[in-house]
Chains A and B, each alone.
Chain A
Amino acid sequence: MIHVRHLSHSFGPYWALKDCTFSLEKGDFVFLSGPSGAGKTTLLRLLHGSLSIQRGEVRMADIDVKRLTRQQIPSLRRQVGVVFQDFKILPLRTVQQNIALPLDIRGLAPQHIERRVRAVARALGLDGRLSVRCGELSGGEQQRVAIARAFVVNPQVLLADEPTGNLDPELSLRLVELFKQFQAYGATVLFATHSIDLMRRHPGAHIMRLEQGMITNANWPGAHIFRRPDAMPVRPGASNADDVRADEAEHDRRDGRDRS
């Protein structure tokens, strides 16, 4: 579903991504972790066509992203649901209008749009807030609106950039469960997060760690790990989530970060 080979991207002299290679199949769920500035958002933007690919290859849902022209990018984006770190919602429009945006641009019938919007809003606990303007919502509610907008089109691929950043732990867990439900329907999910607690609560999930633009740890064979001299060694046989989580915790301890 997502095949990335030797993907690199620079902003001027600074390399935000270096030689990343990994594959996700249909129905995979991967936590993308790593410190701020590790390249998580850059990777998601490249997958979504928001940044042009400088080096390497990306195939999403059988689409060669590198070959897409500017006019063809919207076709890719219609198959990918994205939840952004900064929500990207319209504050002057209502919750209903914001969630319905991807359906509106497809020209679907109003009854169908309303039915879909109500279903997704109910799942995210927004059904009582549909007529409220998004600017009047709390940060957590705005985040849920952004998530609902990504869910509403039943995308083949879901990319989430820190979607739990503004949510309390309980809601974060519920949210991951929702993403998992989408995964169960065959959607491929790439979920960027800082929260080690979230990853700990989902044993068996794929985890991929990015550091300084490189994949430094992963617990499934589809990812090619970039080894550097000072990187934490991946212990022999480290193929399950617990091992990677242990490595994550060790990294955090070493970097002096608290990421509960």
Chain B
Amino acid sequence: MKRILLRLFLQGIRDFGINPWAQASTLAAVTLVCFLSGLFLMALVTLNQQLGMVRGEISFQVYWHRGTDISQIREQWQGYAHIPGFLGVKTFTPEEALEELGKRLGRTSGSLEKEFPFLAEKSPLPATALISFAPNNRNLERWISETTLFLESQPGVSRVVATPLQDELGRAWRKVSKYVMWPSISFLTLTLGLLVGNTIRLSQMARSHETEILQLVGAFNWYIRTPLIINGATLSLSGGLLALGLLFLVHMQVHDVLNFPPLLMEIQFLPWQLMLALLLAPTCMGIAASWLAVRGQ
């Protein structure tokens, strides 16, 4: 029995040689579906982590007028610690903001000023601070409005933006998930099933003569169908593996692109459970689609 199963497994792998273009196209499509799903999952993981980090937090981005005395601004930064619910503050003087901008643009420290000498005299950027609070207040909207007014009333402050991140992100995420992402993934999965099923049908048609002979000499259906189902499963598993490789390469390139103020968001790679899911889900789909394709023969 083991010998038969091993032979059928190898036959299933060899079946990649039947209709190689159709198999390659299906492999590309499966890879694309898995890759898109993986990107979505990466976004989900990253956002979930951010939501976890800022859960219960309200942040305010405060900008000062250019030219405001920096010592006066520093005094205000120190005073924030006395506001109830204060968690922390990330501050940027105009020079620090310019240096951070230079880093984002891929310049080393001071090179931006060398390239543009007028920047060396005076940074055109305003001083800014990202202040985080964990308010213990039932009327959150009112609290946000009052705190915004208070911060705006400070000397030299030009603009205050309240960013109740956890609510906004959570709400936006739920909407996106509900109306776009999950229906898209469901559609892509269905497409994947149809593609794999059709390719297996093509293989089945190409092997119809062999199948007929096998039936005539007494082969059971499982003997005839197993290589085709293994072909479908291998095709889908290979697509999943390729997609994971692509996701890894993409992650290496983009994991830091959102890691700048005020976002400071590092894109996370998939945890092992999701990597496993990204391999098993298409494989199971491939097996199911192949089985449906061959069961009528």
Residue interface bits B189-228, CB-to-A below 8 A is 1, else 0: 0000000000000000000011011111111110100000
Q: Are A102 and B4 in contact (CB under 8 A)?
A: no
Residue of A74, A78, A82, A89 contacting most chain B CB atoms (<10 Å): A74
Q: Which residue of A lies closest to B220 (CB)?
A: A74
CB proximity to B under 8 Å, residues A81-96: 82, 84, 88-90
Q: How far is the CB of A155 from chain B (nearest CB, A)?
A: 10
Residue interface bits A107-147, CB-to-B below 8 A is 1, else 0: 10100000000000000000000000000000000000000
Q: Are B223 and A105 in contact (CB under 8 A)?
A: yes
Contacts of B209 in A (CB 8 A): 90
Q: How far is the CB of B210 from chain A (nearest CB, A)?
A: 6
Contacts of B4 in A (CB 8 A): 105, 107
Q: Are A77 and B216 in contact (CB under 8 A)?
A: yes
Q: Which residue of A lies closest to B5 (CB)?
A: A107
Q: Are B210 and A102 in contact (CB under 8 A)?
A: no
Contacts of A105 in B (CB 8 A): 4, 214, 217-220, 223
Contacts of A77 in B (CB 8 A): 215-218
Q: State which of B7, B213, B214 has its C-beta within 8 Å of the C-beta of A89.
A: B213
Q: Which residue of B lies closest to A72 (CB)?
A: B220
Q: Which residue of B lies closest to A82 (CB)?
A: B216
Q: Are B1 and A74 in contact (CB under 8 A)?
A: no
CB proximity to B under 8 Å, residues A40-90: 48, 50, 71, 74-78, 82, 84, 88-90
Q: Are A101 and B214 in contact (CB under 8 A)?
A: yes
Q: State which of A75, A84, A88, A107 has its C-beta within 8 Å of the C-beta of B218.
A: A75
Interface residues of chain B: helix, strand, loop or mixed (majority):
helix
Residue interface bits B93-109, CB-to-A below 8 A is 1, else 0: 00000000000000000
Q: For the complex, is A250 an interface residue (Cβ under 8 Å from B)?
A: no
Contacts of B213 in A (CB 8 A): 88-90, 101
Q: Are B216 and A90 in contact (CB under 8 A)?
A: no
Q: For the complex, is A149 an interface residue (Cβ under 8 Å from B)?
A: yes
Q: How far is the CB of B295 from chain A (nearest CB, A)?
A: 12
Q: State which of A88, A107, A109 has its C-beta within 8 Å of the C-beta of B216.
A: A88
Q: For the complex, is B138 an interface residue (Cβ under 8 Å from A)?
A: no
Q: For the complex, is A104 an interface residue (Cβ under 8 Å from B)?
A: yes
Q: State which size class the interface on B falls in.
A: 10 to 19
Q: Which residue of A lies closest to B209 (CB)?
A: A90
Q: Which residue of A lies closest to B7 (CB)?
A: A104
A71-B221, A74-B219, A90-B209 as given contacts; A107 in contact with B3, CB under 8 Å: yes
Q: Which residue of B lies closest to A108 (CB)?
A: B3
Q: Which residue of B lies closest to A103 (CB)?
A: B217
The answer for the CA separation of A109 and B215 in the assembled complex, in Å, is: 21
Q: Which residue of B lies closest to A84 (CB)?
A: B216
The answer for the CA separation of A105 and B214 in the assembled complex, in Å, is: 8
Contacts of B215 in A (CB 8 A): 74, 77
Q: How far is the CB of B27 from chain A (nearest CB, A)?
A: 24
A90-B209, A90-B210 as given contacts; A102 in contact with B1, CB under 8 Å: no
Contacts of A75 in B (CB 8 A): 218
Contacts of B219 in A (CB 8 A): 74, 105
Q: How far is the CB of B219 from chain A (nearest CB, A)?
A: 4
Q: Which residue of B lies closest to A88 (CB)?
A: B213
Contacts of B210 in A (CB 8 A): 90
The answer for the CA separation of A83 and B210 in the assembled complex, in Å, is: 16
Residue of B1, B3, B217, B220 contacting most chain A CB atoms (<10 Å): B217
A88-B212, A89-B213, A90-B213 as given contacts; A74 in contact with B3, CB under 8 Å: no
Q: How far is the CB of A158 from chain B (nearest CB, A)?
A: 13
Q: Are A107 and B1 in contact (CB under 8 A)?
A: yes
Q: Are A102 and B218 in contact (CB under 8 A)?
A: yes
Residue interface bits A176-211, CB-to-B below 8 A is 1, else 0: 000000000000000000000000000000000000
Q: How far is the CB of A170 from chain B (nearest CB, A)?
A: 28
Q: State which of B3, B216, B220 has its C-beta within 8 Å of the C-beta of A50.
A: B216
Contacts of A78 in B (CB 8 A): 218
Q: How far is the CB of A109 from chain B (nearest CB, A)?
A: 8
Residue of B216, B218, B220 contacting most chain A CB atoms (<10 Å): B218
The answer for the CA separation of A104 and B7 in the assembled complex, in Å, is: 9
Contacts of A74 in B (CB 8 A): 215, 218-221
Contacts of B212 in A (CB 8 A): 88
The answer for the CA separation of A76 and B7 in the assembled complex, in Å, is: 24
Interface residues, chain B, with chain A CB atoms under 8 Å away: 1, 3-4, 7, 209-210, 212-221, 223
Interface residues, chain A, with chain B CB atoms under 8 Å away: 48, 50, 71, 74-78, 82, 84, 88-90, 101-102, 104-105, 107, 109, 149
Task: List 7 additional A-B contacts (Cβ < 8 Å) besides A71-B220, A105-B223.
Answer: A71-B221, A77-B216, A77-B218, A82-B216, A105-B4, A105-B217, A107-B4
- Interchain Cβ contacts under 8 Å between A and B, 9 examples: A50-B216, A77-B215, A82-B216, A84-B216, A89-B213, A90-B210, A105-B220, A105-B223, A149-B217
Q: Which 4 A-B pairs have the closest CB atoms?
A: A77-B218, A78-B218, A107-B4, A102-B217
